[in-house]
Amino acid sequence: MIDRRIMAAKEELYAKVTPRRQRQSRPSTVKHGSTLDVLLSMGFPKTRALKALVSTGGKNVQAACDWLFSHVDDPFLDDPLPREYVLYLRPSGPLLQQLSHFWQQSRISCGKNKAHNIFPHITLCQFFMCADGKVESLSDALQATVAKWKARIPMPVPLELYTTSTFIGLFVEEQVAELMKSFAADFASEVAAKADAHVEPHKKQLHVTLAYHFHASHLPVLEKLAKNVDVGSGCDWLAVLYSRDIRFANHETLQVMYPYVPQNDDELELMPGDFIFMSPVEQSTVSEGWVYGTSLATGLSGLLPENYINRADESDTWVVHGSYSILNCASPSNSSGSVGGLLFDGKLSDSLLDSIMEASSPSGLCPPMQVMRAASQPSLSKMRLFVCRHGERMDVVFGKHWVTQCFDSKGRFIRSNLNMPSSLPARGGGHRDYDKDCPITVFGSTQARLVGEALLESHTAIDFVYCSPSLRCVQTAQNILQGLQQDESTKIRIEPGLFEWTKWVSGTGLPAWLSPAELAAINLSVDTTYRPHIPISKLVVSESYETYIGRSFQVTREILADCKNQGNTVLIVAHASSLEACTRQIRGLTPQNPKDFVQVVRKIPYLGFCACEEMGETGVWQLVDPPILPLTHGPNHSFSWREMLMQD
């Protein structure tokens, strides 16, 4: 299956690469000099050496060697596919700070829109292709153009805010825009002469895009934030040449959060910090919970678990080939590096980005494949919210008739499998109450303790624990506290408002939950004095989706308000739906439609865990990396030695 995909991808890509205009009088130009010579002397074929130099921004021999060794099995390694290049003007200094603040605030308030895929910029030309052996000449062409145009473009560049229902941007005043277009035309001429490549200057109105492809309801907020951008702020503009891998121009860019060792031949090994390119077209035959993608670090393709990756920005994997100030006469920068490297979260930190832009030097950046992603450790002064799904439940493992099979005529529990608990507490309404309020399995308890132990190892203390009234959730919370060694010091607050969408409850009534006093009587660390924000009497059967989402948002917001200034970290242990329902609206986002909501929920595994962090005193929260690794597990079918081994 993978081989067929590779062949199809090759055919499609080759069809896009148009033949270059031939010039008989000009020999091929390779100007990587001693770096290329060293690679050739080491025995690397010239095509591979050039590909490595271009893919790493011509940084140095070590970076190129690392790339070659990591791509030794890349099926495209010897293919003469060119990369795609583009020339942008990038702001620096105070204006960049203004735009970065807009980017951050708009993302917090309204979520990510299409503009967030690429940094602030003015597009000067369309993407174009250039052979690997001529790439260094592109940088020479840019340097020559900038030298010719020094100080000819007035500063600050006059920008005017323009908004529609689907787009917000800053447009360059027409007279200055014409100068910029002339600059781009001169660059195109230099490229044609020096690198024998065709560049198409941007003919449309020049602008900095602030937002597009956003929800219509977000327009007022985005427009208000855009009006706060001081377009007259001091700024130098950098002419920066970028490249990207042509194979993945229409792919979604993802970043690996956790390491993964393949269990089957068609799976992809994952390294934290690496980037994965995923085409939606390739997902049609992939099983739920998995995606098919290609690694930036190795060029290999395969299946990978969906919960090991996060969405990244398109430009995170782009490579810099030259960066020059069009304002001052500073010496040109070392034109090497990768936009997506040297980072703490797969992206350039704001302070590092500012220093790079102000110094007009993107040098020193490392290829993403050399980056190990550091765990995001929130500041202890910030308030944090963890939301966790319960552990493995009895009725899913042993079927909905497990109660009938495991209780005798006198109501005594008799386990028939080692994954069943050795005993169960008596219920006021009899053992049939377990039909709607099942316990967790032995493995479910183990899962929860593993999470607690991981939190302990990460030096994470929990200040408050809130829990759905479902027994499986209370047992999970108890085991997490045991793993944390906080089961004696921290009490579980039972909050009916955290129960799952009541539409999913079978029958005509809600479960008959054990009361806090009954839970405490069976040695669960429950706070019997806690008064819930939403009592059981306020829950209704078969509530609407809007009611459930509103309830979850209300109770989460009130829990956080109660705990503010009393502790930093709150843990909610509830249901798969809670990870979405309890975090989405506190992040300033509108609820998803019910169909999309269900698709998210069905992919959340037992002990699925997410973390949110408050953004200062704004009351708005953002998702951050949890302090623990994910817990992955698979099905283990029942084994009968009598049936399996005593066959004739």
Q: Tell me which residues are annotated as active site.
A: 389-390, 575
Among 541, 551, 577, 572, which Cα is nearest to 468's?
Answer: 572
| 241 DSSP β-pair partners | 87, 322
Degrees, nearest 5: CA angle 213-219-222: 95
Chain-centroid distance, C-alpha 494? 32
* CA–CA dist 353, 238 (Å, integer): 13
Contact assessment for residue 255 and residue 246, using Cβ atoms and an 8 Å cutoff = no
Distance, CA of 293 to chain centre:
15
What is d(CA 451, CA 455) in angstroms, rounded to the nearest whole number?
Answer: 6
Could you tell me the maximum CA-CA distance found in the chain, to the nearest angstrom?
A: 99
What are the beta bridge partners of residue 493?
Answer: 466
**Both structure tokens of 89:** 């003007």
H/E stretch holding 493: strand 492-494
Complete edge-to-edge strand list for the sheet that includes strand 464-467? 492-494, 464-467, 569-574, 384-389, 609-614, 621-624
Alpha carbons 556 and 571: distance in angstroms, whole number: 11
Give the residue among 234, 232, 143, 126 at the shortest CA–CA distance from 186: 143
Neighbours of 243 (CB within 10 A): 22
Instruction: Give the other-Cβ count within 10 Å of 324's Cβ.
Output: 23
Using alpha carbons, list the distances in angstroms from residue 66 to 216, 339, 403, 524, 635: 46, 17, 59, 54, 39
**Cα gap 618→646, rounded to integer Å:** 67
